Structure 1
C-alpha cells in the first residue's frame, strides 16, 4: 500500500466523538462514517455472517440472533441486542464483566450500488469522563484507531483484495496508518473536549508511543 493510498484511506472516514444514550444513562461514543463500494446486502453479510466476519475482524462463535451471546476471538464477547436486516445490528461489546460497552452498525443503501456505513462504539459517560480527567482522551483515541484498522480490513474484504492482518501488523505501512489515525482521532477529541493544540499533540504523542501496531510496549 503506497503512502498516497494510506492517506486516501484515512481521509475516506469521518470520525467524531459525541454523546449517545447508553443503557438508559449518558454515554460517550466514537463514530466512524464512510462509504463502501459494495451493495448494502453484501456489506450486511460481511458484518453478520460469522464466516465473513472471521475474514476481516476475528473468529466469531455463538448465535447471532437477538437475545443470544457471541464471542469475537480474543477481542470481546457480548449479547446481540438488535439485528434488523439489512440496516442495523447492535451488540454489547464486553471486555469483561465490569467493562461493558455497546456497538451499533448502521447501513444505508446509497446510489451507484454503494453503502453508507456507520459504526458507533459507546461507553458509559461516567467511566469515560473519569478516565479523561485522569489521563486525557487517550482511551477514545485508541478505541477509534482500533476500529480504523478493522474497517481497513473490511474494505479490503469487500473489494476482494488480499489483506493479511498478521503481516500488516508492525509493517512500516501499518505504523504510518496508525499515526495518521491517531492524529485524526486526536483532532476529533480536541473538537469534543475543546482541547488546545498542545493538549491534542500530547494525546497523539501518547497514542504513538503506546498504541503503534507491533509494539508490545511503548517505544
Structure 2
C-alpha cells in the first residue's frame, strides 16, 4: 500500500443527522491531525494564494460577511471567522442549492501539531439519496489528503489533479474512502442494504470502470 493510500487510516469519520430550519439535515464530520502549528494550518486554509496550491483557486470578498467562490466548485458566504480556530461558510452549488454549511475547527495539540475537524451539514436532495455520506465524504477525504501533502512539503499540484485522480494510487484511495464512509454510515445505524447501495453508487461515481476494462 502506498503512503498516500495508507493515509485513509489517519482520518476519523462520523455520520449523523439533525433538524435545521424545520428540515432533516445530514451531518458529516471528518477529523485528522497534522504535524503543523495551528497558525500554519489556519493560514493554509484562509490565504487565497496558499489555498490554490493544494485545493482550488478562490475569489471573492474573503472576510466575515463576504462571499467567496471556489473555481468550478462551491461558493457562499463567510458566516464565522475566528482565527486561528474556527471558520464557517455556506457551501452552495447552482441556483437553488438548499441548505449546506461547512465548519472547520482547529485545535492545537502541542506547538507543532493541529487537530483539523470539518463538519458538513446539508439537506440532501432526493436524487442524491442512494449515495449516502460518501457522496461528499470522498471529496472531503481527498481535500484532507491534499492539505496534508501540502503541509508536509509534498503537494499534488491541483493543475495535475485530474490526471492524478485517474492513477491506480488515487483509484485505490477513493475506493477505500468510499468503503470507510460506508462503515461510518453503518455505525450511525443505517441498514446494511442501504449502506451497500451507497458504497456501490459512490465507488462507481468516483472510480468508474476504465474503457479498456468495460465488458471484460
Shared fold per TM-score greater than 0.5:
yes
Contact 1:80–1:92 (CA<8 Å) still a contact in 2? yes
What's the RMSD between the two structures over aligned residues?
Answer: 2.3
Instruction: Describe the SS at the equivalent of 2:29.
Output: strand
Matched, 1:159 2:143: no
Distance in 2, matches of 1:64 and 1:89, equals 11
Q: 1:9-158 maps to which residues of 2 (within 5 A)?
A: 9-20=7-18, 22=20, 26-100=24-98, 101-124=100-123, 127=124, 130=126, 135-136=129-130, 138-158=131-151
Are residues 117 and 162 of structure 1, via their aligned partners in 2, closer, same or farther at CA, if it must alter by over 3 Å? closer
**Does the aligned pair in 2 maintain the 1:170–1:213 contact within 8 Å?**
no
Q: Which runs of 5+ in 1 are unaligned?
A: none
Instruction: Decide whether aligned partners of structure 1 residues 115 and 12 sit closer, same or farther in structure 2, where only a CA change above 3 A counts.
Output: same
Equivalent residues of 1:108, 1:117 under 8 A apart: yes
Question: How many angstroms does 1:22 deviate by?
Answer: 3.9
2:195 alignment partner in structure 1: 200
Q: Which residue of 2 aligns with 1:173?
A: 169
Q: Is the Cα contact below 8 Å between 1:178 and 1:213 reproduced in 2? A: no
- Measure the CA separation in 1 of the matches of 2:120 and 2:4: 24
Are the counterparts in 1 of residues 34 and 115 from structure 2 also a CA contact under 8 Å?
yes
**Runs of 5+ consecutive residues of structure 2 not aligned to the other structure:** none
Output the CA distance in 2 between the equivalents of 1:139 and 1:177: 18
Aligned with 2:185 (options 177, 183, 189):
189
In the TM superposition, residue 199 of structure 1 has moved relative to its aligned partner by 3.8
Instruction: Please show how residues 1-16 of structure 1 align to structure 2 within 5 Å.
Output: 3-16=1-14
How many pairs were matched up? 208
Give 3-state SS (helix, strand or coil) of 1:98's partner: coil
Deviation, 1:162, is: 3.0
What is the CA-CA distance between 1:177 and the residue it aligns to? Answer: 0.3
Equivalent-residue separation in structure 1 for 2:194 and 2:18 (angstroms): 25
TM-score using structure 1 length: 0.86
Instruction: Output the TM-score relative to the length of structure 2.
Output: 0.87
Deviations 1:31-66 (A, max 9, x none): 101101100000000111111111111100011111
